[in-house]
Amino acid sequence: MTIPAPYQRFEGEVLPEWIDWNGHMNLAYYVVLFDRATDLLFDELGLGLDYRRKDEKGTFVVETHNLYERELLVGERVRIATQILGSDDKRLYVGHEMFRVRDRERSATQELMFLHIDLKARRVTPFPPERRERVAAWTAAHAGLPRPDWAGRRIGLPGNS
């Protein structure tokens, strides 16, 4: 199995209904696009909708951080590059970068921390062995990528802790 590193299979377009009063894409729709990229990744990892339906297990996001760098206008196409930043028996740490297709400029980044959940019990549970092996293989394949300088940032004002 060849594991793409980074994972770059998602492309999308800024829709007219996503434009806010400032004439650019509203912040909520960056999250929508990132979420669609996550769905594709999770299908590859065996953690997608079929897994939820068949095994009644899935993931919940417990923390996220978004950085908006460049505005996106109606009709612009974007590509999302995804890197698995880490994982363990119960967690998956993912980073996304959104790029405008026309000039390859980065528009936004997103970090997410997922917990693996037993959806019947509504509790955190370890990945089953076959899923853990797949997540670990993808994590190892992405470990050789440069660590993004935006990963792990904190929000705040200078001089405030």
State pTM to two decimals.
0.94
**DSSP code string of 16-32:** GGGB-TTSSB-HHHHHH
Q: How far is CA 158 from CA 65, 68, 155, in A?
A: 18, 19, 10
Q: Output the average pLDDT for the chain.
A: 96
pLDDT digits (tens, 9 = 90+) for 45-69: 999 999 999 999 999 999 999 999 9
- For 92, counting Cβ atoms within 10 Å of its Cβ (0-12 exposed, 13-18 middle, 19+ buried), the class is buried
Structure confidence at residue 161 (pLDDT): 63
- Decide if pLDDT at 75 tops 90: yes
Structure confidence at residue 158 (pLDDT): 86
Q: How far is CA 8 from CA 22, 54, 78, 134, 148, in A?
A: 29, 27, 11, 18, 16
pLDDT digits (tens, 9 = 90+) for 115-160: 999 999 999 999 999 999 999 999 999 999 999 999 998 888 988 7
pLDDT digits (tens, 9 = 90+) for 16-47: 999 999 999 999 999 999 999 999 999 999 99
104: three-class secondary structure by DSSP: coil
- Decide if pLDDT at 109 tops 90: yes
Nearest to 147, CA basis, from 92, 90, 79, 97: 97
* Structural domains of the chain sorted by starting position, each given as residue range(s) with its CATH number in brackets: 7-143 (3.10.129.10)
CA 119 to mean position of chain CA atoms? 21
